[in-house]
Homo-oligomer: A and B are copies of this chain.
C-alpha cells in the first residue's frame, strides 16, 4: 500500500500534467488558476485509496480522481460567484480576479472537462461510474439550492440542515470512495459500505468546520474566528441553539441575530456565551462523534484485511484531528 504522502504526490503530479494552455486563454486560464490554488486534494485521494484497497493499484482510477477534483473546483468557482465570496484559499476568487461572465463560462467548461476525464475510466466500469457521478453532481446542485433557500427561512430544522450538508458536501466524498472501490473491482456491498464511510466522514467534517469557526484557535484556523456568527450563518450550532434556547436566552440570541448595528467582537462574544450556556459545543461534538463512529463501523464491515483499510482509517483520523 502506498502512503498518504505518496498518493498525494501522484494526484499533484497528475493535476500538474493537465493541459490548459490551449486557446482561448480567457476561457482556460481561470481553470489552471483554480486547480493550482492548493486545497487538500482529499476527494481525488479518496478515489485512489478506494481503488487501491481492493485492486492493489491506482492507475485505472486516476481519470475518475481527476474528474472529481475538477468537478469539486467547478462547484467552488460557481458557489463563490453565487455567494459573492471574494477570496478562495487566500487568493481572489475567479469572479473577482476576472469577472462574473468568466466565472460562469470557465465553470461551465470545467464541468465538461470533468466528464471528459471521467470518460477515460476503463469501459467495463464506465456506465456505472458515470451514472453515480451524475447522481452526485445533481445532489450537489440540490444542496446548494437548499443552502440558498434556507437563507430566507427562519424555521430550518437541524435535520434539514444535516440533509443539506449531506447533499452539498458529503456525497462528493462518498462518491469518491465508492467510485474508487468500483474501479478497484469491489463488490456492490463493499462499494456501498465505502459510500457510507464517505458520507459520514463528510458530515462529521462539516460539523468540525462549524465548531472550528467558533471554538478554533485563531492562530492555526486560517479564517477569522466567529465569521459564521457575524453573518448569522445557519450552522448546526446556531440552529440547535435556536431550538434549545428559551426565555431571556432566546430573546438575547434573537436580538443579536436581528441586530443591524453592532460591534463585531461583542456579537461574537455574546453568541459564544449563549452557546456555552446551552452546551452547544458538546451537542455538536457528540453529533460529530456519532457520524464519525458510523463511518468507522461501515469501514470495519468492508470485506478486506485491516491493513488494506489502514489508509482510510488514517484519512478519517486526520480529518477529525485537524485544527484547520
Name the residue of chain B whose CB is nearest to the CB of A143: B24
- A148's partner among B101, B112, B116 (CB-CB below 8 A) is B101
**Shortest Cβ distance from A25 into B: residue:** B145
Bound CA–CA A134/B116 (angstroms): 6
Q: How many copies does the complex hold?
A: 2
Query: How near does chain B come to A172, taking the closest CB pair, in angstroms?
Result: 13
Report which of B27, B116, B130, B141 forms a contact with A145, defined as CB distance below 8 A. B27
Number of chain A residues whose Cβ lies closer than 8 Å to a Cβ of chain B = 35
Kindly state whether residue A137 has any CB partner on chain B within 8 Å: yes
Q: Would you call A306 an interface residue if the criterion is a C-beta within 8 Å of the partner chain's C-beta atoms?
A: no
A138 at the B interface (CB under 8 A):
yes
Contact A141 B78 (CB under 8 A): no
Determine which residue in A24, A123, A141, A149 has the highest number of CB atoms from chain B within 10 A of its CB, and name it.
A141
Q: In the bound complex, do residue B109 and residue A82 qualify as a contact, i.e. CB atoms below 8 Å apart?
A: no
Query: Which listed residue, B104, B115, B142, touches A82 by the CB 8 Å rule?
Result: B104
- Kindly state the separation between the CA atoms of A116 and B137 in the bound complex, as whole angstroms: 10
CA distance A78 to B109 in the complex (A): 12
Closest approach, in angstroms, between the C-beta of A2 and any C-beta of chain B?
A: 29
Given the complex, which residues of B lie within 8 Å of A104, measured CB to CB? 78, 81-82, 104
Within 8 A of B (CB), among A118-137: 119, 123, 126-127, 130-131, 134-135, 137
| Sampled A-B contacts (24; CB under 8 Å) | A24-B142, A24-B146, A26-B148, A27-B141, A27-B142, A78-B104, A78-B108, A82-B104, A82-B105, A104-B104, A108-B108, A108-B111, A108-B141, A109-B141, A111-B111, A112-B138, A112-B141, A115-B115, A115-B134, A119-B127, A119-B134, A123-B127, A126-B127, A126-B130
Having A27-B145, A112-B138, A119-B131, one finds 8 other A-B pairs with CB under 8 Å, namely A24-B145, A78-B105, A82-B101, A108-B111, A111-B111, A112-B137, A116-B134, A119-B127
Nearest 10 A/B pairs, CB to CB: A116-B134, A27-B145, A109-B141, A112-B137, A24-B145, A82-B101, A119-B130, A26-B145, A112-B138, A111-B111
